[in-house]
Structure 1
Amino acid sequence: MPAPAPGETDGAPAAAQHQESVGGFRFWFVGQRWEWSDEVARMHGYEPGEVEPTTELLMSHKHPDDRAHVQDLLDYALHSGESFSSRHRFLDTSGAIHNVIVVADRMFDESGTVVGTSGYYIDLTDTLAETTQEILDETLPELFQARAVIEQAKGVLMLIYRINADQAFRVLRWRSQETNTKLRALATQLVAELDTIPSSAPATQSHFDHLLLTVHERIPSERPSRRAANGPDGRS
């Protein structure tokens, strides 16, 4: 997966970045060097460029009840070369609690060597509260047509990340917008590739993260209908 550069939206529509609920990061294993996007900085209560992110700084923001869990995952990533992914809580500089998912994939250098992990913070604190009607207006026809497969995909997200149904839909909608992919197609391909995920933890989540971040690349292109290809009257 191409690493999201801090501050870049990677071509995502503005709606996908609303309220700065999604932000990118990079973590290099050697030297434990971090980069984070402006959105991630603001999630933590800092202005862009105000602080240099470090492991110590990030760990100091983790909720006390989640800190040991995150540290264990980070240690695992450093020793295994796998991505660093998590569902946890952190406190911003004002003391407000954020519920986030960190979805990440391995980061490679030019020779193909794993050098770190890169991905996204998804802040689920507000879930769909402010945008429920907007999202329903945009997706209701598609939801009626493909409710079953979308519900399946939501169920998988709920299980893997331990989130509720609204939060799972938010993640699917984010990937749909970020990749300019139809929600139904994304959900269908995601469900179709679930058998590629190993059942042994902790590899399950890191492999699922990779699947979630790359599944849009393997969705078959929609072929134009004969009428569309040949013209309004069906003739070439």
Structure 2
Amino acid sequence: MEEPVDAPDEAEALTGVFLFRVPESAWWWSDEMYRMLGYDPDEVTATGDMLDRHVHPDDRKSIRRVWDQGLSTGLPFSTYYRLLTRDGEERHAVLVGDGRVDDGSVVVLRGFVVDVTEPVQKQAQKSADADIARARASQEDVDVARGVLMALYGVNEDVALRVLRRHSQQTNVKLRALAHAVVEATPTPPGHGQHDLHQRIAQALYPEA
């Protein structure tokens, strides 16, 4: 009984192979190349113009530069770019290739186009989540510090926030950093009395003093 052939994993399915025969200006694309651009295999003729048409306009210059380097030297080349599918969807890709040289001239360029949309989106989401988490933590410090000043000085939240902002401007310390210092100074250390709170907050607000 023959063993079933494993289906290609997602990474393999999103990696296209290309071959360009320089003397004949002839292209060959793997099935994955067509699918990456939104076509069925062999639905359109593989050409350089077709490939260029699916490159984001802002990335065409860099693609052409590395391609020309490959044509002139045959040395390995690579570049990141954004490709546009048949339906206009923007994807992230990496072009990797090199050339075969015969009698001093590049006769073949071959390589891969790797769709890296998913890892790029995951990294972007991860960075965004981290930024949001930091922003939330910083905002929490501002809210807590505002509450401390409200209780300490007997003022409303608007006045307390304005006092924080004025201290930030006066000391040239970012508002969130100043708020964090106030929050860190608020808990009463072991062995100290609650009456020391004003002194601790003052030290946070006036670090140079």
Q: Which has the higher contact order (CA 8 A, sep 6+)?
A: 1
Of Structure 1 and Structure 2, the greater strand share is in: 2
TM-score (norm 1): 0.44
TM-score (norm 2): 0.49
Q: Highest Rg: 1 or 2?
A: 2
